[in-house]
Amino acid sequence: MRLRRSEQIAVVYYLYAFAAAVGLALPTERLQLIGGVNLAVIAAVLLLAYAQATKPRRLLGYVRDLLPIALVLLAYQQMGWFTLSESRSGPPYTATMLEEAWVGWDRVLLGEWRLREAIEAFGVLLPSLLEISYTLTYLVAPFCVALIYSLGAESSMDRFLTVYLLGTLGSYTMYPYFPSEPPRAVYPGELFPNVDTGFRQLNWWILSGGGIHTSVFPSGHVSSVFAASAGLGHALGNQSPWPRAMMSYSVLVLMATVYGRYHYTVDGLAGAAVAFAAAAAGRALFQGEFQGDEQ
């Protein structure tokens, strides 16, 4: 039995999440929930690897390619269990020291430098494009997996998944230590877009039901799409147009998170930085294979 690198990363992350829960002294029932779920996740990863090693089946390979995406979604929701207002006794978390430090960048970028005005210069066109880009982040990972399959590059799937997990889960690891709320909640109305669209209303509806209240730093949306872009580069090679197209799309997502008041500028830049670090780590992990490709 041999775990893929992406599966090793998933196992390490879920072990870390439980250790973080213990270190932060979450309530006993929350610790039991996190411990039970994470144990089941690790067991499932090991069981799939064992099953394919014992009786190789193409279907098992598909499941192993898709499971990391599901584990990312679970990891995000699990970070919501770390919310301070729910995990500590006493009044809800209301400190906004971090948000006060971060919002200054937004006031300069969107207000003084008139980025909001520039985005809205052509009416609903660019604001709609940004909101659509933000909505599509939930489909980026499955799209990339399907793309790799369609191009016949399945043998490079682990390269993509490794960088994608490193970038996305890398952001999640920081959430418990930067308790914060998004600017749309802390500063209602301030620097909000002057152009409202149906796509914006859709995003607000999605976040109202699926968002968490643990942290917004770094931006998981930004880190995931930049990591997907870098992962495609590792899987398909820099000569493919797809990594460059995904990088352009990632820039739109970065702009959308700030313009739409889903994140602070600092969150978006930090998310991109985590993704670039993941790309460097991925290249180091697969260094021998890349050298072989170049030869």
pLDDT of 23-65, one tens digit each?
999 999 999 999 999 999 999 999 999 999 998 888 999 999 9
Do 102 and 199 meet the contact criterion of CB atoms below 8 Å apart?
no
Tokens of 61: 């390979």
Residues 84-127 have pLDDT tens digits of: 544 333 334 456 889 999 999 999 999 999 999 999 998 999 99
- Residue 47, phi then psi, degrees to nearest 5: -65, -40
Hunting for tokens 């992962």 — which residue is that?
A: 231
Residue 266 domain boundaries: 5-294
Q: CB burial class (10 A; 0-12, 13-18, 19+) of residue 112?
A: exposed
Q: How far apart are CA 197 and CA 186, in angstroms?
A: 22
What per-residue confidence (pLDDT) applies to 57?
A: 87
What per-residue confidence (pLDDT) applies to 86?
A: 44
Q: How far apart are CA 213 and CA 174, in angstroms?
A: 13
- Mean pLDDT, range 283-293, rounded to an integer: 66
Percent of the chain with pLDDT over 90: 82
Q: How many domains does the chain have?
A: 1
